[in-house]
Structure 1
Amino acid sequence: MLRLAALDGQVSSWLDLFGPIVFYLIVWGLVFAGTGLFVGVFIPFITGDSLLFAAGILSAGHSGINIWVLAIGVGIAAFLGDQVGFLLGRHYGRPYLDRRTGAWVQRSIRRAEKFYTDLGWWAVVVGRFIPWGRVLVPPIAGIARMDYLKFVAANLVGALVWGVLLTVTGYFAASIPAVKSAAYVIGGAFILGAIIAGILSWRRNRAAV
């Protein structure tokens, strides 16, 4: 809660300093950079869920910010960021990730690899809600040569559920505080259902071998 409050103040300062248009661009740019440029590995709190909530909450109290322009832009930025991560993984392969040094990063890469191996298509969707998964699953899917159209479909679902839904939820949470708590329940239920579906798919694939 303290981190969200601090980020809310920082996001508000962007709007005060730069105005609505630049505010849109900053939020969208951070969402894109979080996965497309790997920034989310180093500062996940400013490129992830907290940013979307804070931006949504702020838009509720500012007439210059249109929540639908903001939310749809977030969804597009999230989608494009993952596409870039996937293509980097596919074209540059393992060396792209191996150049990211540091114990936490390498440990997260190993976790993301297992996560993708276990869940496949669903890992791209569920990974949106996990800081290391959001950043690392797309390039790992590219390295694994995941079918491109399947990745696009999973990426689109994840971008809509994570990017658009969480931003809009932040907007309504400003006037209906219970919405924020409900968002975590809904998000948790979605993730649990996706994980179960992924495990069932994995078991069917194992049985078919």
Structure 2
Amino acid sequence: MPLHPQFCALAAPGRLAFNALDAGSLLTAFGVLGVAVALFAETGLLVGFFLPGDSLLFTAGLLCVPGGAGVHLSLWQVLLAAVGGALAGAQVGYWIGRRGGRAILARSRSRHLHEGAERAEALLARYGHAKAIVLARFVPVVRTVLNPLAGALDVPAQVFLRWQAIGGLVWTVSLVLAGYGLGSSLPNVDRYLLPLVALIVLLSLLPLAREILRSRRSRRDRSVAGGDLR
């Protein structure tokens, strides 16, 4: 199965070797190591909120399909790297939150991070610790912010460890195997690679969009209620 040209060669000499926002470019440049480092940064360090976790996992699964030209990854290595990076990153983020508290978020000027913090708090309030920690894995930005926020809010360490491990396993393994399964069953999947990755990104943003709309509707309702009281 020939791979899309963006996966088959590094950038030309003198040009930027990779684009951290593009899953294919990142995997081409760093392979399995890129999976572990990117997921660790996205789930453990606030500066990693922009990294493409969902599309990275799906694309890595596609590149594990045997018979392709260019970049080829080992499925078991990708799974180990993905699970290890995601679990270690979340745990580091939690302990950063325990030590630094909300001051870490307060120092950031990123609108996306502050909106993510609001979504993360809403998830914790609505679903409780266990369900919110698992669900956050599937929501971009929120999965970055919830871990330090859980530490700042004194979520019990054992509770966080248990549920972040479950959420991390489900998130990473399901997306990697989805990419691998699709690549194995669909001939010439490289022809549809970019649309597929775009679809994964779109689907990953739907929960965030739903929470934003729900939050805006709630604020509007409270505003209307406040006006009626006056």
Q: 1:72 to 1:165 in 2, by over 3 A?
A: farther
- 1:135 equivalent in alignment to 2:144: yes
Shift of 1:92: 0.8
Q: Counterparts of 1:9 and 1:82 in 2: how far apart (Å)?
A: 24
Residue 10 (structure 1) aligns with: 25
Whichever residue aligns with residue 141 of structure 1, its letter is: A
Q: What is the TM-score normalised by the length of structure 1?
A: 0.72
Q: Secondary structure at the match of 1:131?
A: coil
Q: Which residue of structure 2 lines up, in the alignment, with residue 53 of structure 1?
A: 58
Q: TM-score, normalised by structure 2?
A: 0.66
Cα distance in 2 for partners of 1:7, 1:102 equals: 21
Q: Which has the larger radius of gyration?
A: 2
Structure 1 residues 44 and 9: alpha-carbon distance in aligned structure 2, compared to 1, 3 A threshold: closer
Which residue number corresponds to residue 73 of structure 1?
A: 81
Q: Is 2:96 the partner of 1:88?
A: yes
Identity of aligned residues (%): 33
Alignment CA distance shift 1:26-1:44 (3 Å): closer
Structure 2 unpaired stretches of 5+ = 1-6, 8-20, 187-195, 208-230
Matching residue within 11, 22, 39 for 1:31 = 39
- d(CA) in 2 for partners of 1:27, 1:100: 26
Q: Which residue of 1 aligns with 2:161?
A: 152
1:56-76 residue CA offsets vs partner (Å, 9 max, x unmatched): 101213696320121122011
SS at match of 2:78: helix
- Residue 128 of structure 1: CA displacement? 0.3
**Unaligned ranges ≥5, structure 1:** 15-21, 192-209
Could you tell me how far apart the structure 1 residues matched to 2:141 and 2:99 are?
Answer: 21
Q: After the TM superposition, which residues 175-190 of structure 1 pair with which residues of structure 2 at under 5 Å, given as runs? A: 175-177=184-186
Q: Which amino acid aligns with 1:10?
A: S
Q: Please, what is the CA RMSD of the aligned residues?
A: 3.0
Tell me if structure 2 keeps the 8 A contact 1:59–1:67: yes
